[in-house]
């Protein structure tokens, strides 16, 4: 049954720094934008297991389970599998699937729809290319993590390619790896130094490890591809620009994201979906295998429809252009573009300069509609094919083809300019990020963190942020406290946010959509939720908006810096608490009391409905308790009175121990309220405690009370002296009743 209203999908990603996962995420987000779906992306940790750091994925698991607004989830289970073994991942996927529509990425689980890259054929094509095109015979293979499904399938593709080409598999050429750069280098060292095997090529399970292998070969003056050819799998962001560019099986990570989200969307709406959907990789021949590096590659690999019944060149070009630029520009603009280009091509005599000026003008216009210049290359391919197909309509084919080739250089020049502009933008972003992280590193409390985020994040294309900290900066990962926040700060647009947990109003981070400004009804949202941590200590949670134009390192830099700032504020809070807290009773000491009292007076000065009352108290008979029962029991009496005092006061009242047996309180009352009510309540509570007969003595105190006429520091100091005088008078009366002589 189709769900009404905007859907909300949760996405679990294990590592935002992984370019493969980040590209999958881009595909998910684009589908969500097109179909008006809210996204909450839960990000695990970038910590490496070999450093002994625990994973924070458990926090994400629990938050997702507790988020009641989710309509479905996408789990990057195959990537989470790099941290956990398959049995644990299987149980996690099954648990989600039993309660909510679920799609798994790169990890097949029975009963759960899964989108997968077809790993076997990708590696098979790469190794087959080494053998058939380059004549390689002694091919080593660097594997993925032990037990990893993707790594095992790629290894199977390697062995199958050897077998189909009549090369016997030799297990000595199989080297352990772990999908990371250092294991690629380690495998090369083992192959050369320990196994001492001859080899003319290396196939690697992924690009990251392949780069490590090439770097290690380079250190040994073994050149790629002259001495050794290298092929790989993934086509990550470095493979095309690395020198040598890496021949690799391209996974369409973007399509994996879109296809997985489409599966989940259909499942939520009650449609049947396949258990498995495979995305086939394409082997990209580049320099590392010995092929000519292609610097400009069409992303779309678009095929021209050659079977359509077109009357003439104009109808053919018009139809193909509408297909190419659909969704990029209005149809009337595309028709004008196609008609003018064909008319220019058919002119007699044909003028290359006029044609190229026309193309150049359209490139400038196209920049206002779209930044996808690969579609412009597709358009030139259509023109080339159209001229050849309808050569009877033009004066001479070759000059036109030459002009189209020259026009391609115009497009390439625009791409070069775009790259330079992007470099400037990235440099500016890095500068802003450095300034932001530097300022955040110098903050020492949550309010300062919030103010810096409000000031700086819009410059980084982020219009909101939430920082929530756990009680005592601590969390029990398998307990009910996950997602329960003690204090939260942040902003959304121009709205500042500062919330504190109370018994009546707990803060649940997983229900952030209930916070003003973050509701899902006003507009569609895509947001990240990051666990905040410092070393092995969980601190809280961070929410940041997802923007496809913001690189992953910006997010991770903010997470690390904010985690350090929160940890720093925690340490400063502890130091400050030690400096203003009485060690024996746990209430404020003299310094702390005066600091908080003066701050409270500033608030009361703006509130005409409330008045301030000062109570000054002195324990009776403390010297006798010390002399009779010892100083330890005297300390107990002081702690008992402090406890009674705290239980008597309201949360907004301020209490402090300002001397050995002296206490003071700044309380607030309504303007028409009797000041004696608080004093009477305290005396009653002391009497009730004494009735329990817990100690061989009674707790007793002399109390002086004074009301402030105005809430100023001068009046407060006068009230303290007045309350002390009243206390002294009461103490003298008590001594007189006992027949004691005044000192």
SS3 assignment for 39-89: EEEEECCCCCHHHCCCCCHHHHHHHHHHCCCCCEEEECHHHHCCCCCHHHH
For strands 495-500 and 610-619, give the pairing.
unpaired
Q: In what order do the strands lie in the sheet with 701-707?
A: 654-657, 662-670, 610-619, 701-707
* Half-sphere exposure for 263 (CA within 13 Å, toward CB): 26
- Give the pair of three-digit tokens for residue 100: 């909510």
CA 497 to chain centroid, in Å, comes to: 20
Is the separation of the CB atoms in 704 and 725 below 8 Å? yes
The DSSP symbol for 520 reads: T
Confidence of residue 464 (pLDDT cuts 50, 70, 90): very high
> Which pLDDT tens digit goes with each residue over 65-83?
888 889 999 999 888 766 6
Is the separation of the CB atoms in 336 and 317 below 8 Å? no
- Give the pair of three-digit tokens for residue 718: 């006068």
- Give the pair of three-digit tokens for residue 449: 């963190």
User: How is the chain split among helix, strand and coil, in percent rounded to 5?
Assistant: 50, 15, 35
Is the separation of the CB atoms in 655 and 667 below 8 Å? no
Helices (H), 511-621: 552-580, 590-604
Q: Where are the beta strands (DSSP E) in 50-209?
A: 72-75, 102-105, 114-117, 139-142, 174-175, 201-204
> Which pLDDT tens digit goes with each residue over 373-398?
878 888 998 999 999 999 999 999 99
CA 60 to chain centroid, in Å, comes to: 11
pLDDT at 305 over 60: yes
Residue 69, classified by CB atoms within 10 Å of its CB into exposed (0-12), middle (13-18) or buried (19+), is: middle
pLDDT at 307: 65
pLDDT at 542: 93
pLDDT at 304 over 60: yes
Which of 130-144, 278-292, 703-717 ranks highest by mean pLDDT?
A: 130-144
Is the separation of the CB atoms in 328 and 409 below 8 Å? no
- Give the pair of three-digit tokens for residue 323: 């297909």
> Which pLDDT tens digit goes with each residue over 165-180?
999 999 999 999 988 9
> Which pLDDT tens digit goes with each residue over 445-456?
888 899 999 999
**SS3 assignment, position 676:** helix
Helices (H), 370-445: 374-389, 397-441
**List of residues 6+ apart from 5 with CB closer than 8 A:** none
Q: Which residues pair with 104 in a beta bridge?
A: 75, 114
> Which pLDDT tens digit goes with each residue over 337-366?
999 999 999 999 999 999 999 999 888 888
pLDDT at 197: 96
What value, to the nearest 5°, has the Cα angle with vertex 596 and ends 590 and 597? Answer: 85
> Which pLDDT tens digit goes with each residue over 32-66?
999 999 999 999 875 444 444 445 778 888 888 88
Q: How far is 721 from 302, CA to CA, in rounded Å?
A: 88
**SS3 assignment, position 259:** helix
Lookup result for tokens 């400004």: 517
pLDDT at 52: 42
Characterize 263-295 residue by residue with b for buried, 16 or more Cβ atoms within 10 angstroms of its Cβ, and e for exposed. Answer: bbbebbeeeeeeeebbbebebbbbbbbbbeeee
> Which pLDDT tens digit goes with each residue over 501-511?
766 667 777 77
pLDDT at 662 over 60: yes
pLDDT at 24: 93
Q: What are the φ and ψ backbone dihedral angles of 325, each rounded to 5 degrees?
A: -100, 15
pLDDT at 153: 94
pLDDT at 47: 46
pLDDT at 537 over 80: no
Is the separation of the CB atoms in 565 and 441 below 8 Å? yes
Q: How far is 306 from 301, CA to CA, in rounded Å?
A: 15
Is the separation of the CB atoms in 467 and 499 below 8 Å? no
pLDDT at 478: 43
The DSSP symbol for 549 reads: T
pLDDT at 643 over 80: yes
Q: How far is 588 from 435, CA to CA, in rounded Å?
A: 38
Is the separation of the CB atoms in 707 and 696 below 8 Å? no
Structural Rg of the chain based on CA atoms = 36
pLDDT at 670 over 90: no
pLDDT at 482: 59
Four-residue CA torsion sign, 418, 422, 423, 424? positive
Is the separation of the CB atoms in 722 and 616 below 8 Å? no
Q: What are the φ and ψ backbone dihedral angles of 205, each rounded to 5 degrees?
A: -70, -25
- Give the pair of three-digit tokens for residue 157: 């593709």
Report, as an integer, the average pLDDT of 655-684.
Answer: 86
Give, in order, the Cα–Cα distances in Å from 640 to each of 107, 309, 584, 693, 702.
Answer: 60, 97, 11, 13, 15
Characterize 162-186 residue by residue with b for buried, 16 or more Cβ atoms within 10 angstroms of its Cβ, and e for exposed. Answer: beeeebeeeeebbbebbbbbebbbb
**List of residues 6+ apart from 464 with CB closer than 8 A:** 457, 490, 491, 492, 493, 517, 518, 527, 543, 544, 545
Helices (H), 605-660: 622-629, 631-648
Confidence of residue 624 (pLDDT cuts 50, 70, 90): very high
Q: Which residue has the higher pLDDT, 478 or 520?
A: 520
Give, in order, the Cα–Cα distances in Å from 350 to each of 312, 315, 357, 383, 396.
Answer: 18, 20, 13, 15, 8
pLDDT at 443 over 60: yes
Look over the chain and give the mean of its residue pLDDT values, rounded to a whole number: 86
Report, as an integer, the average pLDDT of 18-24.
Answer: 87
User: In percent, how much of the chain has pLDDT > 90?
Assistant: 48
Q: Which residue has the higher pLDDT, 703 or 80?
A: 703
pLDDT at 600: 81
Q: In what order do the strands lie in the sheet with 8-13?
A: 276-279, 114-117, 102-105, 72-75, 8-13, 38-43, 526-534, 537-545, 464-469, 487-492, 495-500
Characterize 379-406 residue by residue with b for buried, 16 or more Cβ atoms within 10 angstroms of its Cβ, and e for exposed. Answer: bbbbbbbbbeebeeebeeeeebeebbee
Confidence of residue 5 (pLDDT cuts 50, 70, 90): confident
């Amino acid at each position: 049954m189709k769900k009404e209203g905007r859907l909300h999908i949760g996405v679990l990603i294990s590592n935002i720094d992984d370019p493969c996962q980040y590209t999958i995420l881009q595909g998910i987000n684009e589908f969500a934008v097109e179909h008006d779906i809210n996204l909450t992306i839960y990000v695990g940790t970038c910590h490496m297991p070999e450093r002994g750091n625990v994973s924070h994925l458990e926090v994400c698991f629990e938050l997702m389970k507790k988020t009641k607004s989710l309509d479905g989830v996408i789990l990057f289970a195959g990537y989470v599998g790099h941290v956990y073994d398959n049995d644990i991942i299987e149980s996690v996927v099954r648990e989600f699937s039993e309660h909510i529509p679920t799609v798994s990425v790169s990890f097949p689980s029975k009963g759960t729809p899964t989108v997968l890259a077809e790993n076997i054929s990708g590696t098979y094509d790469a190794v087959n290319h080494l053998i058939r095109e380059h004549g390689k015979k002694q091919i080593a293979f660097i594997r993925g993590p032990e037990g990893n499904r993707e790594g095992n399938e790629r290894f199977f593709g390697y062995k199958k390619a050897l077998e189909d080409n009549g090369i016997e598999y030799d297990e000595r050429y199989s080297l352990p790896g772990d999908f990371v750069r250092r294991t690629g280098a380690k495998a090369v060292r083992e192959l050369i130094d320990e196994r001492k095997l001859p080899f003319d090529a290396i196939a690697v399970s992924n690009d990251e490890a392949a780069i490590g292998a090439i770097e290690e070969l380079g250190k040994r003056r073994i050149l790629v591809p002259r001495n050794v050819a290298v092929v790989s799998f993934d086509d990550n962001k470095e493979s095309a620009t690395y020198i040598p560019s890496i021949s690799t099986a391209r996974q369409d990570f973007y399509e994996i994201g879109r296809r997985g989200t489409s599966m989940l969307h259909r499942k939520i709406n009650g449609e049947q979906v396949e258990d498995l959907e495979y995305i086939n990789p394409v082997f990209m021949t580049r320099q590392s295998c010995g092929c000519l590096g292609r610097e400009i590659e069409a992303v779309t690999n678009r095929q021209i429809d050659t079977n359509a019944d077109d009357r003439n060149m104009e109808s053919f070009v018009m139809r193909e252009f509408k297909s190419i630029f659909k969704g990029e520009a209005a149809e009337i603009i595309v028709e004008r573009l196609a008609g003018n280009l064909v008319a220019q091509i058919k002119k007699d005599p044909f003028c290359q300069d006029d044609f190229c000026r026309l193309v150049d003008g359209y490139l400038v216009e196209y920049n206002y509609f779209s930044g996808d210049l690969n579609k412009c290359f597709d358009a030139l391919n259509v023109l080339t094919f159209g001229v050849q197909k309808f050569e009877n309509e033009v004066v001479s084919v070759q000059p036109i083809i030459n002009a189209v080739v020259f026009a391609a250089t115009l497009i390439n020049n625009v791409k070069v300019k775009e790259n330079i502009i992007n470099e400037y933008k990235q440099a500016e972003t890095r500068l802003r990020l450095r300034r932001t992280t530097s300022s955040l590193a110098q903050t020492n409390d949550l309010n300062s963190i919030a103010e810096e985020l409000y000031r700086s994040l819009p410059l980084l294309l982020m219009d909101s942020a939430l920082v929530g900290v756990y009680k005592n900066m601590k969390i029990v990962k398998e307990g009910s406290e996950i997602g329960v926040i003690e204090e939260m700060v942040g902003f959304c647009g121009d709205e500042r946010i500062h919330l504190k947990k109370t018994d009546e109003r707990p803060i649940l981070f997983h229900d952030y959509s209930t916070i003003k400004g973050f509701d899902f009804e006003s507009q569609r949202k895509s947001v990240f939720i990051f666990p905040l941590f410092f070393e092995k200590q969980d601190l809280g949670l961070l929410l940041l908006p997802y923007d496809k134009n913001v690189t992953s390192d910006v997010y991770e830099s903010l997470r690390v810096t904010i985690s350090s700032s929160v940890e720093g504020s925690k340490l400063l809070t502890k130091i400050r608490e030690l400096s203003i807290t009485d060690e024996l009773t746990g209430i404020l000491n003299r310094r702390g009391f005066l600091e908080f009292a003066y701050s409270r007076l500033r608030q009361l000065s703006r509130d005409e409905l409330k008045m301030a009352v000062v109570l000054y108290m002195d324990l009776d008979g403390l010297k006798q308790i010390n002399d009779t029962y010892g100083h330890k029991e005297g300390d107990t009496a002081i702690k008992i009175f402090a406890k009674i005092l705290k239980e008597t006061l309201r949360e907004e009242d301020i209490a402090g121990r300002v001397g050995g047996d002296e206490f003071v309180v700044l309380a607030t009352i309504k303007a028409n309220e009797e000041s004696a009510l608080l004093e009477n309540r305290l005396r009653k509570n002391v009497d009730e405690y004494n009735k329990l007969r817990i100690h061989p003595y009674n707790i007793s105190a002399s109390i002086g009370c004074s009301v402030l006429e105005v809430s100023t520091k001068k009046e407060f100091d006068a009230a303290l002296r007045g309350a002390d005088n009243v206390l002294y008078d009461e103490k003298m009366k008590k001594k007189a009743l006992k027949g004691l002589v005044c000192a």
